[in-house]
Structure 1
Amino acid sequence: MPKLDIPITLLDPDGGWINTPVHVSELDELPVLLHFFSLKQRGNDADIDAVKRILAEFAPRGLRIISVDVTASDKELRDTNAVEAFARKHGLYHPIAVDDGSMARAYDVAETPAWLLFDADSGRLRHHFSGKNASQHARQVLERFVQSSAAAPAHAP
């Protein structure tokens, strides 16, 4: 079982960032969803559609969403064109980290997709969902998460 109560201390991903890089100081006092995925995972379309729905509903209300592509190969890590093409194809314009596996290990992500929710008050991991129904489980707690962070300023995706 994944460990909870881990602080959100983003590592500098070896593969860099797609769209906009994120520094941990930008996440202060905001609820954060880290969405781990892999270009190679089955069922990607449903998972990505869930990300887009959550972005549309919760980003305007203060939730910061960051996706993390856990790379399947050194080639993908060195050449992020495939990740960029995937993001454009699916209309993803929020920050996406290209991870060599170090971020996944730091947050105890053993499978993708994985959805990790960090609270705004402490910036610590409160929920970790993984597997094919991860987005549904995460969605059930997001309303409470965003409500408890109502004082947090809204942030564009």
Structure 2
Amino acid sequence: MYFWSKSCPSCHANMPHLQKLRDEYGPKGLEVVSVHRPMGEFDLDEAKVLEVAKELGITEKLIFDNDHSIGDELKVDAWPTYFLFDKDGKVRRHAKGQFGVKMIEQALIRLFDEEGNVDEAREKEKEKSPEAVTESFPLSF
């Protein structure tokens, strides 16, 4: 899940890298959700957001967080912000800002091993870092 805004230059710059990850890990089970979180009233026109999403190549599910309720629940305070959830809905990693997508990529590499065995990769990650973030967020959208 990633939070972006149509008027965020870093969001636009990171999109090709994010799409590369989506295309590489999608066949292994990664599901990507795009959440448009407006930076201001100038970002509220959903038709314009859809137009920009198309230009950026966003093909995954797109959710509008115009009232910031989803982002507030996850304590999103920057654009872009990325969350990596495991199959049980636990946050495995979150990152924000211009370099956030690279941090998420490293977490994806740990989560998905060479064969795409999520459970085995998860066990390897626990062995390396037992204090890894496993906070759960009950989302209701």
The residue aligned with 2:60 is 94
Distance 1:89 1:42 in 2: 14
Which structure 2 residue ranges, 5 or more long, are not aligned?
A: 121-141
Provide, for residues 119-145 of structure 1, a one-character-per-residue CA deviation record: whole Å limited to 9, x for no partner.
11x211121101110001110110222
Give the structure with higher Rg (CA).
2
Residue among 35, 52, 55 paired with 1:68: 35
Residue among 59, 63, 72 paired with 2:26: 59
Note the 1:115-126 alignment, pairs <5 A.
115-120=82-87, 122-126=88-92
Contact 1:61 1:150 in 2 (8 A): no
Q: What's the RMSD between the two structures over aligned residues?
A: 1.9
Aligned length: 116
Contact 1:112 1:131 in 2 (8 A): yes
Please tell me whether residue 139 in structure 1 is matched to residue 108 in structure 2: no
Provide, for residues 14-41 of structure 1, a one-character-per-residue CA deviation record: whole Å limited to 9, x for no partner.
xxxxxxxxxxxxxxxxxxxx11111121
Q: How far has the Cα of 1:74 moved from its partner?
A: 4.5
Q: How far has the Cα of 1:62 moved from its partner?
A: 0.4
Provide, for residues 24-60 of structure 1, a one-character-per-residue CA deviation record: whole Å limited to 9, x for no partner.
xxxxxxxxxx111111212233211122111111111
Q: Which has the higher contact order (CA 8 A, sep 6+)?
A: 1
TM (norm. structure 2) is: 0.74
Q: How far has the Cα of 1:150 moved from its partner?
A: 6.2
Contact 2:6 2:38 in 1 (8 A): yes
The residue aligned with 1:48 is 15
Structure with the higher helix share, 1 or 2 = 2
Amino acid at match of 1:106: E
TM (norm. structure 1) is: 0.67
Distance 1:68 1:45 in 2: 14
